[in-house]
């Protein structure tokens, strides 16, 4: 029988703290949220491993959806500098793990998921943990969630091959968007800030992440 509490502590100590994550609120949130709850029961023993854990099966033309590896998620959230009064959009929440962590950092979380089955799992998981400040909504990820915009922070819970312009328009002045910009196996974690009506982005660390549905680059025109 796996001691998940011990595995959680090892994850934080060996994957999160050792990668320059020092935000005490974030560390406490990751220690408090049972990550094993957010993966299929048959993969529970993989919940705290240092990789992107699959939460759905791959299908032809449809890659498996995955939870971001703990280190990448932690570094993205630390870079976003989430305050306890912030209103956050979590894009691609899958089974709700990232939303559960965010709910312990922010005032309110809109967890967006386009797969109905995953959205239902996320609702159940968040309800079971008593995290009522996180609301799960169902819709295309690339569109964001305009009904509750603008947001202080938007978290792109995976990779995009293009700058997420529709999401950037949903930021408040001074708002931040974090995510991984990637084409192929290599990528870079980005922090975008909304300043004076414009959004500027900068690389914050090298990272790889699974591509989110709706964020692939359009096919290039070839003569």
What pLDDT score was predicted for residue 220?
60
What pLDDT score was predicted for residue 159?
95
In a domain, 52, yes or no: yes
Sequence-separated (6 or more) residues with CB below 8 Å from residue 124: none
Average pLDDT for the chain: 94
Q: Judge whether residue 183 has pLDDT over 60.
A: yes
Q: Judge whether residue 62 has pLDDT over 90.
A: no
In a domain, 188, yes or no: yes
In a domain, 219, yes or no: no
Higher pLDDT, 218 or 68: 68
In a domain, 44, yes or no: yes
In a domain, 217, yes or no: no
**Domain CATH number, residue 82:** 3.40.50.150
pLDDT in tens, 15-44: 999 999 999 999 999 999 999 999 999 999
Number of structural domains (the chain) is: 1
pTM score of the predicted model: 0.95
pLDDT in tens, 110-152: 999 999 999 999 999 999 999 999 999 999 999 999 999 999 9
Give the residue numbers spanning the domain of 84.
4-206
Q: Judge whether residue 59 has pLDDT over 90.
A: no
* Mean pLDDT computed over 56-81: 94
The residue with tokens 């529709």 is 166
What pLDDT score was predicted for residue 83?
97
Higher pLDDT, 60 or 108: 108
């Amino acid at each position: 029988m796996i001691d998940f509490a011990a595995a959680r502590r090892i994850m934080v100590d060996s994957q999160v703290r050792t990668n320059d994550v020092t935000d005490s609120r974030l560390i406490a949130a990751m220690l408090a949220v049972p990550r094993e709850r957010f993966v299929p029961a048959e993969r529970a023993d993989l919940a705290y491993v240092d990789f992107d854990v699959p939460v759905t099966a791959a299908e032809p033309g449809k890659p498996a959806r995955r939870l971001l590896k703990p280190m990448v998620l932690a570094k993205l959230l630390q870079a976003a500098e989430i305050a306890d009064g912030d209103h956050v959009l979590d894009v691609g929440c899958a089974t709700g793990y990232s939303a559960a962590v965010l709910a312990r950092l922010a005032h309110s979380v809109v967890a967006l998921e386009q797969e109905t089955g995953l959205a239902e799992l996320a609702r159940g998981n968040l309800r079971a943990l008593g995290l009522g400040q996180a609301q799960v909504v169902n819709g295309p990820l690339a569109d964001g969630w305009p009904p509750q915009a603008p947001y202080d922070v938007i978290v792109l819970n995976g990779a995009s091959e293009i700058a997420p312009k529709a999401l950037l328009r949903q930021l408040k002045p001074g708002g931040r968007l974090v995510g991984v910009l990637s084409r192929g196996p290599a990528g870079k974690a980005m922090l975008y800030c909304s300043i004076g009506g414009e959004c500027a982005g900068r690389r914050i660390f090298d990272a790889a992440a699974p591509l989110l549905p709706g964020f692939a680059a359009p096919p290039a025109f070839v003569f």
